[in-house]
């Protein structure tokens, strides 16, 4: 499973520890943090930033200055998505497990936004197995998005489909749709509109917009937003690209030149993908390092971690030990 876990510590004070998790499809219960007996009362109380200081090592840390908005309902989540699409001026970046094949309104809003603003760029990252699964009418996420690529070109619209290296060769041919998804999925859930990031566990489909409750936080910060845009772009370097093509499917998939195909050479794919991710994570850690001593008890910190075990990236596990 590939995903990203977000940890936000909001205005933490001694004995008031607020940790919000947006976990992957099968969330793990975070370990309990035990404070010493001295942390209950008095001036010797252990400050929260001392408790969480270890989390600031080995990962990028973002000090969030703007209030964090917690969205309460699926309908509010959908309205925020549409609002973000309509008002984005520079870029829209959507990362999800899939986009529901019935989400024609959402895609129409993307189309309208691209038509209104010729400087707008759109990036979409989905899982390849889930994103190419067809419904009863033969429609899929890939087929839904391919016309945007055709109309506006790859310079402005990029649709990435990450494919697990665990399913290749004869196994890929043998396993049918839906069942093949048990081998591993990409399901980072982050929706970026310029400097705004909505972090959630929700996918982009009708049930998540109407009656399937999830968690949603909107964070406004240019550096935090840029981190996620660059994360998606990095994963896109070793993902299939959706292009307009095959008449039957409504699209075609292509790997970038010089990148190993995970369905044909999974071992080389893992090596190349691990190298790209390691470079990205190392750079992000250096650019957004925060000294533990500079953290105030009034600071709000956002610490994104990436878990891609099949590629040897295990930041979630390191933080949860």
- Supply the DSSP string of 117-163, one letter for each residue: -TT-EEEEEEEHHHHT---TTS--HHHHHHHHHHHH-TTTEEEEEE-
187, 196, 288, 299: which one is catalytic? 187
Tell me if residue 194 is catalytic: yes
Catalytic residue among 49, 111, 163, 189: 189
- What is the Cα–Cα distance from 151 to 175, expressed in whole angstroms? 34
Q: Report pLDDT digits (tens) over 102-121.
A: 999 999 999 999 999 999 99
Q: Is the model more confident about 172 or about 237?
A: 237
Burial class (CB in 10 A: 0-12, 13-18, 19+), 204: buried
Listed range (86-100, 174-188, 216-230, 281-295) with the worst mean pLDDT: 174-188
Strand stretches in the chain, DSSP E: 2-9, 19-22, 62-63, 69-71, 91-95, 121-127, 157-162, 190-193, 196-200, 216-220, 240-243, 252-254, 301-308, 313-314
Q: Is 172 a catalytic residue?
A: no
- Position 46 scores a pLDDT of 56
Candidate list 194, 226, 299, 316, residue with the active-site label: 194
| The dihedral sign for the CA sequence 122, 109, 145, 277 | positive
Percent of the chain with pLDDT over 70: 82
Range name among 13-22, 66-75, 85-94 with the lowest pLDDT average: 13-22
- Quick one: pLDDT at residue 138? 87
Q: List Cβ<8 Å contacts ≥24 apart for 147-154.
A: 147/244, 148/107, 148/110, 148/111, 148/114, 148/122, 149/242, 149/243, 149/244, 150/243, 150/244, 151/111, 151/114, 152/114, 152/122, 154/241, 154/243
pLDDT at 180 over 80: no
Find tokens 């409504």 and name the residue. 250
Q: CA–CA separation, 280 vs 259, rounded Å?
A: 17
Among residues 226, 219, 250, the alpha carbon closest in space to that of 150 is found at: 250
Strand partners, 298: none
Residue 55 pLDDT > 50: yes
Residue 189 is among the residues annotated as catalytic for this protein = yes
What is the strand order of the sheet 157-162 is part of?
Answer: 69-71, 216-220, 196-200, 190-193, 91-95, 121-127, 157-162, 240-243, 252-254
* pLDDT level of residue 189 (50, 70, 90 thresholds): very high
CB-based contacts of 148: which residues, under 8 Å, 6+ apart?
Answer: 107, 110, 111, 114, 122, 157, 159
């Amino acid at each position: 499973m590939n995903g990203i876990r977000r940890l936000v510590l909001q205005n933490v004070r001694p004995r008031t520890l607020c940790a919000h998790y947006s976990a992957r499809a099968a969330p793990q219960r975070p370990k309990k943090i035990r404070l010493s007996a001295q942390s209950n009362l008095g001036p010797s109380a252990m400050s929260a930033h001392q408790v969480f200081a270890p989390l600031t090592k080995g990962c990028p840390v973002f000090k969030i200055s703007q209030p964090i908005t917690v969205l309460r309902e699926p309908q509010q989540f959908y309205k925020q998505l549409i609002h973000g699409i309509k008002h984005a001026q520079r870029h829209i970046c959507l990362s999800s497990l899939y986009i529901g094949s019935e989400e024609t309104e959402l895609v129409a809003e993307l189309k309208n936004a691209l038509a209104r603003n010729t400087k707008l760029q759109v990036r979409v990252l989905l899982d390849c197995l889930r994103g190419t699964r067809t419904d009863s009418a033969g429609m899929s996420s890939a087929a839904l998005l391919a016309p945007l690529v055709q109309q506006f070109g790859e310079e402005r619209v990029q649709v990435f489909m990450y494919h697990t290296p665990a399913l290749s060769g004869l196994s890929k041919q043998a396993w049918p749709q839906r069942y093949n998804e048990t081998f591993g999925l990409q399901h980072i859930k982050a929706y970026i509109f310029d400097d705004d990031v909505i972090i959630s566990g929700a996918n982009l489909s009708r049930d998540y917009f109407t009656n399937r409750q999830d968690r949603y936080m909107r964070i406004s910060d240019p550096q935090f937003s840029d981190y996620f845009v660059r994360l998606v772009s990095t994963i896109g370097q070793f993902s299939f690209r959706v292009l307009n093509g095959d008449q039957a499917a409504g699209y075609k998939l292509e790997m970038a030149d010089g990148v190993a195909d995970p369905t044909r050479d999974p071992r080389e794919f893992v090596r190349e993908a691990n190298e790209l991710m390691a470079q990205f994570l190392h750079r992000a850690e250096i650019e957004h390092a925060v000294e533990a001593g500079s953290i105030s008890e009034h600071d709000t910190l956002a610490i994104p971690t990436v878990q891609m075990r099949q590629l040897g990236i295990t930041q979630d596990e390191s933080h949860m030990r």
